Structure 1
Amino acid sequence: MTDEKTWFGQPRGLTVLFLTNMWEQFSYYGMRALLVYYMTKELLLGQGTSSFIYGAYTAGAYFTPIFGGLIADRLLGKRRAIMVGASVMCVGHFMMTFEPLFYVALITIALGNGLFLPSLPSQVGDLYQPQDPRRGWAYNVYYVGINIGGFLAPLICGTVGELYGWHYGFGIAGIGMAVGLVIYLSGQRYLPPERPRTIDPAAAPRGPAFTPRILALLFSIGVAVTLFRSAYEQVGNTVALWADSGIDRAAGGFTIPMTWFQSLNPLFVMLLTPPLLRYWRGRAEAGQDAAPLRRMATGALIVAAAYLMLAAIAWATGDGRANWLWLALFFLFFTFGELFILPTGLGLFARLAPLSLGATTVAAWFLITFTGSLSAGLVGALWSGLDHAAFFVLLAVLAVLASLLLRLLSAPTEAVEHYRRIDAEMD
C-alpha cells in the first residue's frame, strides 16, 4: 500500500490504528487498575475470589476474540467488527459505574473485545506489502501506542477511582473507549481497503504453512506463552496487592497511590522501545539479528530474573515493607523482558497468517492470552496460602520453563518462516 510516510516513516494508517488502540487500552487498563481493589475494598470479596474473578474476566476478554476473528473474516469485515466491538465495549464500561450491573458489565466488555481486539492489529499488516521491511517494526511502534494508553490509565482512572469513588474511575475508562471509536471513524480514508471475505484456494500459501506442522508449531508456542503469561499477568493481580500491603509508598511526605505503580510498566515501554529498536536494527543490518523465538526466550528469562529480585526483597523484608524504589526497579526489568516477547509474538502470528484469515490468526495469539490469564488467575489464588517470597520464586520458575520451551521451538519456526519468504517471492 502506498501512503505518505509520517511517524517513524510508517503509513498514516498506522497512526490511526495506533491512536485508536491507545484509547482502547486506556479504557482497558483504567478499568483493570481498579478492578481488584474495587472487588476487595468496595464489594468486600475475599482475595482468592477476587483473584479468580480477575483471571476469569481477563481470560474471557481474550477468549472471545477467536470467535470475533472468524466473524470479522467471514461476515462483518475488519472495519465493521471494530466499530461494533468498540461500541459494545463503551456500553460495558459505562455499565461498570452501576454496582448491580458489575458482572453483566464484565461480560459485555469481554464480548465487545472479541470483535475489536483481533481486527485492529490485523489491519496493521494490511498496510504493507509482504516484503516491506517496515512491517516487522510496525508492531513495536503499535505496541508503544498500547502502552501510552496503559500509562495514562492508572494515573487518571486509578487516581479518580481511588480518591473520588471507584465508579467515577470506571466512567472515565468508558470515555476513553468512546474517544478511540471517534478517532477510528475519523481516519477511515487512511486505512487499508477491505480484502474479500471469501477464501480463495489460489491465494492460499504454498509450502508447509497452515498444514498440521504449522498448526502444531503455533499450538506449542501457545503453550510456552501461556506459561509465561501465568507469571506476566500477576502485575495487575498479586503484584498490585503487594504494592498495597508490602511496599512503603511514602515519598517526601507524599503517599504514592497504589494504582500509580501500574503506570510504570507502560511508561518503561515508551522509554525502552526506541533504543531497543535502534539496537535490533543495527544487529539486523549487520546480519546478526536474533530469530523471533530466541528473542522471546530471552525476554522470558529477563522476566524470571525480575521476579527473583522481588522474591529476594520479600524474603529480606519479611513482615515489613520494602521501599517503593524496589518495585519501580522490578517494573524496569520486567518491562525490558516483555518487549522481547510480546510484540515479537504478535508480529510472528501476523506474518504466518494467510490473507483470508488475518483476524482469525491474530485472534489465535489473543487466545493464548486467554489461557494465560485463566492460569494466572489460578496461580494468583495461591497468594494467600504461600509465603510471598516463595510465590515470587514460583512465578520465576514458570517464566524459565516458558523460555526453555520457546528456545526448543526456535529452529522449526525459523524453517517455516524461511518457506513463507520463498512463497512471497514467488507470488
Structure 2
Amino acid sequence: MSNYQAEVSLPAAATPPTKNLFGHPVGLYILFFTEMWERFSYYGMRALLVLYMVNHLSKPEVAAHVLGFGAVKGALEGIYGPLATQAFASQIYGIYTALVYLTPLLGGYLADKVWGQRRTVVVGGTLMAMGHFLMAFENLFFPALGLIILGNGAFKPNISTQVGGLYPPGDERRDRAFNIFYVGINLGAFFAPLVCGTLGQTVGWHYGFSAAGVGMVIGLIVYLAGQRYLATDQLTQTRQTHTEKKPLNRTEVASILALIALIVINTFWWAAYEQQGNTIQLWADQNTNRDLLGNGWLFPSTWVQSINPFLIFTLTPLVIAFWAWQSSRRKEPSTIGKMILSCMTIGCSYLVMVGAAIQAGSSGTASVWWLLGFFFLATVAELYLSPVGLSLVTKVAPARLVSVLMGAWFLSNFAGNYLMGYLGTYWEKVPKQTFFLGMALMCFTIGAAMWLLSGPVKKAIDASIAQKQSG
C-alpha cells in the first residue's frame, strides 16, 4: 500500500467556501436537505421491503410474474438449503442492504478519479429515483433494487465527503457539522415510514414506493440548485493546480490500517443495528401490542421505524452538550472510546428485547414499551458511532483518497448488512429470547475486541490528524 501513487493538490486549492449561516457554511444546509430527501426515499422503501416480500411478493400467483424470482430463490436455496418465506425475505433484505454499502467503494473511485463528487452525486440520485419508481411495478422488483444499489453507491460517499470539504483542516466545527448533517439524515428517515409506510400498508404497496421516488427527485433539485455554495471537487482541484506524484507516507498508511481495523469490528455492530428493519420490524408487526387506545385499532407497524430517527434529532443536542461538558473537564472520550461505549450500549438494547420476549411468553405479544426502550438505547449507541465515524474518515484520510476511503468505510455496513440478513434466517428457528441474547453477546464481544485494539488505533489516528493540521 505504501507504493500507491496518487495525485496531490496544492493546499491553496482546497480553500472551502466562506459564506456562513448560523456559524456554518451555507453549503452544509444544502447538503443537509439533499441528504434528508435521499434518506426519505431510502428509508421509506426500506420500511416496506420485508413486509412487502413476506405479505405480497412471495405469494405464488405474484411471484410467478416477478422477473428473476425463481432464479434468485433457486440460487439462494442452492447455498443455504430450502428457505421459508420469512427466511427468503431476510436473505434478500440482507443482500440488498449489504450491496447498498458495497457500491460506495466504486462510487468513491469514480468521484476521485473520473467524474468528480458533484457529477457522481447527480448520476447516483438519478439512478435511485428511477429504481424507486420501478418498484411500483412488481414484475421489475429485482431490476429496481439493482438501480437503487448502483445509485446509492454513487451518491452516499460523495455527499458525506463534501461536508468535510466545507471546512479547512483543524476546524473545530467539523465534528459538530457532521452531527448537524446526521440530523438531516434522520429527519428524512423519521418522516419516511410515516408517509411511505402508511401509504404502502393502507393504500397500496406501490403508492409507498412511488412516494420514495418523489423524495429522491426533490433531493436532486435541492442539490442542483445549491451548487454554488459547495466546495470544489477534489478532482477539480487536482486538475486546476500543479500536481506531483507522491507515495503514501508511513503516517498515512498507519491511518488507513487503523480505519481497516475499525471497519472489520464495526461489521458486527451494523449486523446488530440493522436488525431494526428486519427482525425488529417483524417483532413489531407480529409480537407487539399495537392497540394503544384499547379500541381495537392497531397503528401500522412500519411506524416504529420512525422512533429511531425521531430520537436521533431529539437526543443529538443533548449528546453534543454532554460531550462539550465532558470536554470542558478534559473527560470527553476519544473517538475509539465512544465506539466502545456504543458497542456496549447496543448490547444492552438487545437485553431489553430479551425481557420483551419473556413477557410475550405463550401469548406471543408484548408491550410496545419494550420496543421504545430498545430504540432509545440503540439510538444512543448510534450517536456514539455512526456520525463520529464519518467525521473520522474526513479527518484522517489522505485528501486524494477521501472519497475512496469513505466508500471503504461503508464496507462495514456492507458486510454487516449481509451478516444481518443471515442472522435473520434464525428468527423462526430459535426461541426469540435466545435470538436476542445471542445478539447482545455479539455486541459485548466486539466492544471488548475494540478495547483491546484501542491503543494502537488511537495512536495512528492522532498522528494522522496532527500531520494534516501541520500541512
User: Which bracket does the TM-score occupy, shorter chain normalised?
Assistant: over 0.9
Check whether the contact 1:69–1:119 (CA below 8 A) recurs between aligned residues.
Answer: yes
Secondary structure in structure 1 of the residue aligned to 2:113: helix
Check whether the contact 1:206–1:423 (CA below 8 A) recurs between aligned residues.
Answer: no
Q: Does 1:124 align with 2:167?
A: no
Check whether the contact 2:270–2:417 (CA below 8 A) recurs between aligned residues.
Answer: yes
Check whether the contact 1:139–1:346 (CA below 8 A) recurs between aligned residues.
Answer: yes
Other-structure match for 2:448: 404
Q: Does 1:280 align with 2:323?
A: yes
Other-structure match for 2:351: 308
Q: Does 1:299 align with 2:342?
A: yes
2:409 to 350, 365, 372: 365
Q: Does 1:251 align with 2:292?
A: yes
Identity of aligned residues (%): 40
1:420–1:214 CA distance, 2 compared to 1 (3 A): closer
Other-structure match for 1:195: 234
Q: Does 1:34 align with 2:48?
A: yes
Check whether the contact 1:224–1:402 (CA below 8 A) recurs between aligned residues.
Answer: yes
Within 5 Å, give how 1:27-426 maps onto structure 2.
27-44=41-58, 46-196=85-235, 200-201=243-244, 206-209=249-252, 211=253, 213-252=254-293, 253=295, 254-320=297-363, 321-426=365-470
Q: What is the CA-CA distance between 1:124 and the residue it aligns to?
A: 0.6
Check whether the contact 1:20–1:180 (CA below 8 A) recurs between aligned residues.
Answer: yes
Take 1:111 and 1:230, find their aligned partners in 2: how far apart are those partners? 21
Check whether the contact 1:161–1:168 (CA below 8 A) recurs between aligned residues.
Answer: yes
Q: Deviations over 1:209-239 (max 9, x none)?
A: 1x2x434322221111001111111000000
Q: What is the CA-CA distance between 1:203 and the residue it aligns to?
A: 7.2
Take 2:160 and 2:122, find their aligned partners in 1: how far apart are those partners? 14
Secondary structure in structure 2 of the residue aligned to 1:322: coil
Check whether the contact 2:255–2:461 (CA below 8 A) recurs between aligned residues.
Answer: no
Take 1:167 and 1:82, find their aligned partners in 2: how far apart are those partners? 26
Take 1:87 and 1:14, find their aligned partners in 2: how far apart are those partners? 21
Gaps of 5+ in 1: none
Aligned length: 424
Take 1:43 and 1:186, find their aligned partners in 2: how far apart are those partners? 38
Q: What amino acid is the match of 2:321?
A: R
Check whether the contact 1:33–1:158 (CA below 8 A) recurs between aligned residues.
Answer: yes
Q: What is the CA-CA distance between 1:343 and the residue it aligns to?
A: 1.0
Q: What amino acid is the match of 2:287?
A: G
Q: Deviations over 1:68-121 (max 9, x none)?
A: 110110000000000010001100000000000000100110011111011100
Secondary structure in structure 2 of the residue aligned to 1:396: helix
Which protein has the larger Cα radius of gyration, Structure 1 or Structure 2? 2
Check whether the contact 2:37–2:219 (CA below 8 A) recurs between aligned residues.
Answer: yes
Check whether the contact 1:86–1:113 (CA below 8 A) recurs between aligned residues.
Answer: yes
After the TM superposition, which parts of structure 1 deviate over 6 Å for at least 4 consecutive aligned residues? 202-205
Q: What is the CA-CA distance between 1:342 and the residue it aligns to?
A: 1.1
Q: Deviations over 1:142-168 (max 9, x none)?
A: 111110000000000000100000000
Q: Deviations over 1:270-329 (max 9, x none)?
A: 110001111112222332221101101101111110101101220232132111122122
Q: What amino acid is the match of 1:238?
A: T
1:10–1:203 CA distance, 2 compared to 1 (3 A): farther
Take 1:364 and 1:2, find their aligned partners in 2: how far apart are those partners? 27
Check whether the contact 1:203–1:355 (CA below 8 A) recurs between aligned residues.
Answer: no
Check whether the contact 2:255–2:464 (CA below 8 A) recurs between aligned residues.
Answer: no
Q: Deviations over 1:248-268 (max 9, x none)?
A: 000112321100000000000
Q: Deviations over 1:153-206 (max 9, x none)?
A: 000000010000000000000000000000000001110012236595567775
Check whether the contact 1:207–1:423 (CA below 8 A) recurs between aligned residues.
Answer: no
Take 2:159 and 2:25, find their aligned partners in 1: how far apart are those partners? 15
1:425–1:65 CA distance, 2 compared to 1 (3 A): closer
Q: Deviations over 1:372-418 (max 9, x none)?
A: 00111101111010100000011111111221122222222221232
Check whether the contact 2:136–2:207 (CA below 8 A) recurs between aligned residues.
Answer: yes
Take 1:28 and 1:146, find their aligned partners in 2: how far apart are those partners? 10
Take 2:221 and 2:246, find their aligned partners in 1: how far apart are those partners? 34
1:425–1:162 CA distance, 2 compared to 1 (3 A): closer
> How does the TM-score come out when normalised to structure 1?
0.96
Gaps of 5+ in 2: 1-15, 60-84
> How does the TM-score come out when normalised to structure 2?
0.87
Take 1:319 and 1:105, find their aligned partners in 2: how far apart are those partners? 40
Q: What is the CA-CA distance between 1:133 and the residue it aligns to?
A: 0.4
Check whether the contact 1:22–1:145 (CA below 8 A) recurs between aligned residues.
Answer: yes
Q: What amino acid is the match of 1:34?
A: L
